[in-house]
Amino acid sequence: MDDPVDARLAAEVSRDPRATLAQLSERVGLSASAVQARLRKLESTGVITGYQAILDPEAVGKPLAAFIEITPLDPRQPDDAPALLEPIAAIEACHSVAGDAAYMLFVRVGSPRELEALVSEIRHTASVNTRTTVVLQTFYEHRPMLPLPDAGE
Amino acid sequence: MDDPVDARLAAEVSRDPRATLAQLSERVGLSASAVQARLRKLESTGVITGYQAILDPEAVGKPLAAFIEITPLDPRQPDDAPALLEPIAAIEACHSVAGDAAYMLFVRVGSPRELEALVSEIRHTASVNTRTTVVLQTFYEHRPMLPLPDAGE
DNA sequence: ATTGAAAACGAAGCCCT
DNA sequence: AGGGCTTCGTTTTCAAT
C-alpha cells in the first residue's frame, strides 16, 4: 500500500467507514467506480481488516478498564497464555511485550468486583502472575492510525 | 441502554457496522424501519460514539507499537499532559491510570528510530519521564465490547 | 456512463400500554 | 394519548454491464 491515493482512501475510510462511495470519491478525487475497485482491493489484500462501531463503555455497562501485565509462573512450561485466554470476552486486546512482563492485556469490566474475578480467572486459567493497572480516566482512544493528508482546498 | 433489543443491536452493529438495515432487522427480529429508528437513537444518545475501519498496522507503515507510561517531572506543575500530547498523531490512546505512572499511552510508529523520536517529543512536550514497553506481537485487539446474546432458536 | 436492483428514508396507520 | 412497530412509496446508492 504505497500509492498515495490508497493511503488517502484508507485514511478516509478508517475515519468514516459508512461513507458512501460517492462521498469517498469526492474526497479522494476519483470516480465512484474507481474508489469501489480500490476499496475492494484494500479489503482483499488485508489492508482493511475489518470494521467496527465504537460504543461508549459506560453506556454498555463496562465503565472500568484496566491493563493487566501477565508473567508465567514457571518459565519452563510451554507458554500459550494468549490461546488459553482468548475465550475470555472481557479481554479486548492481548500483546506480547518486551519488558518485565510477558504479555499485556487490556480489559473492560463492569465493576471492581468483576475485575477481581477476572484477574483471578486469568491467573488460574493461564498459570500466570498478574500486575493490574486500573484506568482512572480515558482522555482519548481509537484515534485513527493514518493522518489525513492535509486538506488543501 | 437496558433494553435487551438495544443491547443486541449494539452488539451486532459493533461487530458489523456496515450491515444493512435489512440484515440487522433479521438478526434482531424487527423491521428495518424500527432498526433504523433504534440505531439513530443509539447514536444520538451516545451509546454508539462512532465507526471505524480497522487497518493492518504493518500494511500502513506502522509495524511498531508500544505502551508508554508517563510521569510528570514536577508533581507541583499543573498537569495537562493529555491536552499537550493530543496533537501528536502517533498516540492512539491516552488514559490516566492508578499506579506508578500518571498516564498510559498507546502509540504506533514505523520504526525504532521513530519511536525514539516520539518518546523524546513526548518527554519535552509534556515535561514528563517515560517508561516504554515495546509490543513484540499482537495476538488480538479491537475485540468487541459486547458479547453476542447466545443464538437460541 | 447507464441501468436494474437494493438499500435507506419518510409518512401514515395500527397496536399496546 | 403516547410510544413504538409495521407497511408502503419515494429517493438515493449500489454494482454490473
In tens, the pLDDT along A49-70 reads 999 999 999 999 999 999 999 9
**Residues paired with A105 in a beta bridge:** A68, A94
Parallel/antiparallel/unpaired status of strands A103-109 and A91-97? antiparallel
pTM, 2 dp: 0.93
Phi, psi of B92 (to 5 degrees): -90, -30
- Is residue A81 within 8 Å of residue A126, measured between CB atoms? yes
Q: Is the pLDDT of residue B45 over 50?
A: yes
B118-132 burial, b at 16+ Cβ within 10 Å, e below that, comes to: bbeebeeebebebeb
Q: Kindly report which amino acid residue has its CA closest to the C1' atom of nucleotide C9.
A: B33
**Residues paired with A129 in a beta bridge:** A71
Q: What is the pLDDT of residue A2?
A: 63
Task: Report residue A129's pLDDT band, with 50, 70 and 90 as the boundaries.
Answer: very high
The span from the CA of B128 to the CA of B130, in Å, is 6
Q: Which residue has the cell 475470555?
A: A88
Q: How far is the CA of A102 from the C1' of D13 (A)?
A: 49
Instruction: Inform me whether the C-beta atom of residue A76 falls under 8 Å from chain B C-beta atoms.
Output: no
Residue A62 contacts by C-beta under 8 Å, 6 or more apart in sequence?
Answer: A108, A109, A110, B145
CATH 1.10.10.10 fits B4-45, yes or no: yes
Q: Which helix (H) or strand (E) holds B116?
A: helix B112-126
- Radius of gyration for the alpha carbons in chain B, expressed in angstroms and rounded: 20
B23 burial (CB, 10 Å; 0-12 / 13-18 / 19+) is middle
CATH 3.20.20.140 fits B58-135, yes or no: no
For chain A, give every domain's residue range: 4-45, 58-135
Q: What is the pLDDT of residue A1?
A: 60
Task: Report residue A150's pLDDT band, with 50, 70 and 90 as the boundaries.
Answer: low
Residue B43 contacts by C-beta under 8 Å, 6 or more apart in sequence?
Answer: none
Please state which of the ranges B64-73, B77-86, B100-109 shows the lowest mean pLDDT.
B77-86
Task: Report residue A34's pLDDT band, with 50, 70 and 90 as the boundaries.
Answer: confident
Instruction: Inform me whether the C-beta atom of residue B56 falls under 8 Å from chain A C-beta atoms.
Output: yes
Contact between A95 and B139 using a beta-carbon 8 Å cutoff: yes
User: What's the mean per-residue pLDDT of chain A?
Assistant: 91
pLDDT in tens, A6-25: 888 899 999 988 888 888 88
